[in-house]
Structure formats: structure tokens, C-alpha cells
Amino acid sequence: MKSIALHWRILIGMALGVIVALIMSQIAWGPALITDYIKPFGTIFINGLKLIAVPLILASLIKGVSDLKDLSRLSQMGLRTILTYVFTTILAVSVGLMVVNIVAPGKQITEQTRNELVEAYGGEAAKKQEQAQQQIQAGPLQALVDLVPSNIVGAAANNGNMLQVIFFALFFGISLIMIPEASGAPVKAFFDGLNDVILKMIDLIMALAPYGVFALMAALVVEAPSADLFAALLWYALCVVIGLILLVLIYLLIIRFVIGRNPFDFLRGISPAQLLAFSTSSSAATLPVTMECVEEELGVRKEVASFVLPIGATINMDGTSLYQAVAAVFIAQAFGMDLDFATQMGIVATATLASIGSAAVPGAGMVMLIIVLAQAGIPEAGLALIFAVDRPLDMCRTVINVTGDAMVSLWVNKSQED
């Protein structure tokens, strides 16, 4: 088994998971067996990945910053990273808007289907609305306040506080550069060693990835909602997927013509991270593997990868922002609203901000979508319309979130060389 490349083993695991779940769905006790005895192994696998996210960010970012030895390089890289992220997000929203306006999937939805969907998923949509309400109530500068933790142990206790951990690691790394080298040396040596240990942990967890994704896919298939609702939302789902594919094509062009690398090497190099993003729907859980792929397969320098990727996993979600734009316009179309140019420009702005604010976990993009809807004056009840297909689309958009981060790391790596 060892001789087969990891991405093939993961793909085989995914395919077997789907096949086994389809067979088991035919047997009365099959689905329960999968939920009770197979799904837990998927959960253990995701937990294993999440377990190393915080220590990985701490160790690799502190090591990365202290390796830089020079603050001006850090601020230069920081600025480049943030600007590139904003650029790719706006690009993603624009692609999404273009596709959804051309295909107009909302116009295909009959009033009857709309009512059926609202009835079936209204309750679940209300839960998401409650979560979003908490975000809306916060003041305009709350995001800035949230960046600075009041306690590092508290911040590290929750994987949702990734930005706070990043803030601490940057602050720590910068201070480490500023003290005399002799007193900083043991601290640096500690974090260098810690970083190696964590990379080994990732290797060990990844050896189990094919089995983990087998369990995840099997559980997803037996828990999927009915196929009829899927069919009603086919055009909408297609718009999201077409938009995501177009975006990847644009990435590949950038990789070829701006960064000057072979796009196929890029795809081959990050495929394990993409497959994992697909099966876990979480860029945070995928982060350790994304970092390993870009460093080892694409040759991105450690100091760049350890800075660009954790920040990207938290704030750069190109797939999510594209999906939010498509979903907002689809819901408006389904309710018979025509959105003018100014409102669509408003969607560009809010979807960009909302994707920055989305947590890197399953379903987060949908919570933040409510903010986009509210701003554009689109009925929030429309969330119920898209619920049935959200999970598969979440899987697809997470792949693009991770791919976008990897592409930007390659780009920043190149611009740091020039």
C-alpha cells in the first residue's frame, strides 16, 4: 500500500466510503451501523487534525518570524499577503456574480418548490439566523478587538480563535527577534524542535487519512437529505460549482503566467490537502496538511508558508465568498427580486468581509451569508431554500478556500524572491 501516492490512497478511501454507504443504505440496519460504528472514526480523524492546529500555528509562526531576523521583511510580506488575499476574494465574488447573473438559477424555482423548501428547512435556517444575530449585534470595530486575546491559554483553548493565536505568535516572534541573540537562542531552538515534532505528528495522522476519509464519506452519504430536493436546486448548485471551477482556472493561469510555475505540478502537489478539505469541509482541520504540501511539494519557503497559510485559512475564503455571492442572488431571484448594479456591488463588499469573518469550519459560510442577505435587503428566510445542498457545496468551496491559500503562498514566495 505504501507505494501508492497518498492522494490516490485518499481517493480510494473516499470512493470506498461512498460505495459501502450506498450498499448499507439498502439494508435496514445499515445506516445505523455506519452512524454508530464507522462515523466515530471519521470524527476521531478530524479531531486529530484539529488537535495540532493551534500548536502548529504557534510553533511554525514563531519559528518562521524568528528565522526572518528582520522586521522590514516581515511587514513587507504581511502587506503583500493581505493585499493578495483581498484581491483573490474580490475576484472570487465577481466570478460568482457573473455566473449567477448569466444562468439565473433562481428563476427556475417554482413557487411550490420554494414553499416546500421553506417548510422543510425553515427551522434549521432559524438556528443559523440566531448565530448570525450575535455577529450583527457587535460594533463595527469588534473584529479588531477580537484580534487581541486577553489570555493566551484562553485563546488557544478554542480552535475558533485562530486569529488570536496568530496575533500572539507574531507578537512573540517579533519580540524574540528584538532581544539579544544569545538569550533568544534557547527559546528559538525550543520552537524549532517543537516544530519538527509537530510535523512528525502530521505525518502520523496523515498515514491514517485514507481510513479517516472513508469513515467521513460513508457517514455523509447515509445522512444526506432526499434526492428530490437536490434536483430542485440543481441549477443553483451547478452555478456554485461552475463558478468554483472558473476560479480555479484563473488561479492556474496566474500560476502559469504570473508566478511562472507549472499549474499541473501545483495541482499534484496540493492534491492531498484538497481531498482532505473536501472530506472534512474545514480549512482549519486541513491547515497542517496544506502547510506540509506547499513546503515539501511546491518548495515554498517555511517562513512564507508558516505566515501566509494560517492567516489564509482564517481570513481568505475565496470559495466561500463566491458561494455567498451566488447564494444571495439566487435567493433574490427565487423571491422574484431584481437586484440593481449598486446592490450587487454591495454584495461584493459584504461577501468579501463576510468571508473574512467566516470561521474555517463546516457550515460557517452559511451563517455569514445572512449578513450578506440582510445588507442587500434579501429575505433571510431564503436561507431555507439552499439548506438541502449546503453540505456538498461546503465540501467544494472548502477545496477552493484551501487552493486559494496555497496559490497565494506560492505568489508571495515568488515576490519575496524578486
Q: List, in order, residues 6 or more apart from 104 with CB less than 8 Å away.
A: 333
Nearer to ligand ASP among residue 64 and residue 357 (C-beta): 357
Going through 27-98 in order, the beta strands assigned E by DSSP cover none
Binding mask 77-116 for ligand ASP (x = CB under 6 A): ----------------------------------------
Question: Smallest distance from the beta carbon of 400 to ligand ASP, in angstroms?
Answer: 9
- The Cα–Cα gap between 357 and 352 comes to 9
Q: How far apart (Å, rounded) are the C-alpha atoms in residues 219 and 240?
A: 24
Which of residues 344 and 398 has its CB atom nearest to ligand ASP in the complex? 398
CB of 19 to ligand ASP, least distance (A): 25
We find the least distance from the C-beta atom of residue 141 to ligand ASP, in angstroms, to be 24
**Among residues 125, 255, 348, 361, which is the contact residue for ligand ASP, using CB under 6 A?**
361
> Of residues 248-307, which lie at the interface with ligand ASP (CB under 6 A)?
281-283
Of the pair 92, 339, the CB lying nearest ligand ASP is at 92
Concatenating the DSSP letter of every residue in 160-190 gives GGHHHHHHHHHHHHHHHHHS-HHHHHHHHHH
With CB under 6 A as the contact rule, the residue among 94, 352, 358, 409 that binds ligand ASP is 358
**Backbone angle region of 352, left / alpha / beta, with phi > 0 → left and psi within -120 to 50 → alpha:** alpha
In whole angstroms, the minimum distance from the beta carbon of 402 to ligand ASP comes to 7
Regarding 401 and contact with ligand ASP (CB under 6 A), the answer is yes
Rounded to the nearest whole angstrom, what is the least distance from the CB of residue 40 to ligand ASP in the complex?
21
Instruction: Give the count of residues interacting with ligand ASP (CB under 6 A).
Output: 16
Residue number of the CB atom closest to ligand ASP? 365
By CB under 6 A, residue 362 contacts ligand ASP:
yes
Instruction: Give how far Cα 291 sits from Cα of 97, 202, 403, Å.
Output: 31, 10, 12
Minimum gap (Å) between residue 362 Cβ and ligand ASP? 5
Cα dist from 5 to 11, 201, 210, 298, whole Å: 10, 19, 11, 16
Alpha-carbon distance 7 to 2, whole Å?
A: 12
How near is the Cβ of 394 to ligand ASP at its closest, in Å? 5
- Please, which contacts does 174-181 make with residues 24 or more away whose CB atoms are closer than 8 Å? 174/65, 174/71, 174/74, 176/62, 176/65, 176/66, 177/65, 177/66, 177/68, 177/69, 177/70, 177/71
Q: How far is the CB of 11 from ligand ASP (least distance, A)?
A: 20
The residue to which cell 496544506 is assigned: 290
Q: How far apart are CA 208 and CA 210, in angstroms?
A: 6
Contact (Cβ atoms closer than 8 angstroms) between residue 319 and residue 281: no
Q: Which of 103, 215, 364, 407 binds ligand ASP (CB under 6 A)?
A: 364
Instruction: Please report, as ranges, the residues that interact with ligand ASP according to CB under 6 A.
Output: 281-283, 317, 320, 358, 360-365, 394, 397-398, 401
